[in-house]
Amino acid sequence: MVQASERRGLAVEPREIKHEDDINLRITWADGRLCRYRAVDLRRACPCAQCVNEWTGERMLRPEAISDDVTISDISVVGRYALNFRWSDGHETGIYSFRYLRDLCEAT
């Protein structure tokens, strides 16, 4: 579980979001950092209320419940602060804030 950080400003502002292919996402941040994400890792890190207990923060989603070949079907930008993914397994409720994405990148 990635703890919410205090990152702000350029570090959580994407300059470019590139859906390279079905399983690779690349984000270039305004501070120059390049982060690469694999679909399966992002899917397993889904922060939605089905995957994480809203009250305790406990991750309800078991990693092994997600197939290694899950792919990104679609990505949309939510407001100015987050991305929403539609996955090949039909899941689409996760809202990944830019801060969360940056934290995931720094945690690996």
Under 8 Å between Cβ of 84 and 78: yes
Q: How far is CA 40 from the centre of its chain?
A: 10
Which residues in the chain belong to E strands, given as ranges? 14-21, 24-29, 34-38, 72-78, 82-87, 95-97
Q: Which stretch binds Zn ion (CB under 5 A): 46-54, 65-73, 78-86, 97-105?
A: 46-54
Candidate list 35, 48, 95, 105; residue touching Zn ion; CB under 5 A: 48
Residue 94 lies near Zn ion (rule: CB under 5 A): yes
Closer residue to Zn ion (CB): 29 or 100: 100
Could you tell me whether strands 34-38 and 72-78 are parallel, antiparallel, or unpaired per DSSP bridges? Answer: unpaired
Q: Which stretch binds Zn ion (CB under 5 A): 23-31, 49-57, 65-73, 79-87?
A: 49-57
Residues belonging to the chain = 108
Candidate list 39, 45, 46, 66; residue touching Zn ion; CB under 5 A: 46
Residues binding Zn ion (CB under 5 A): 46, 48, 50-51, 94
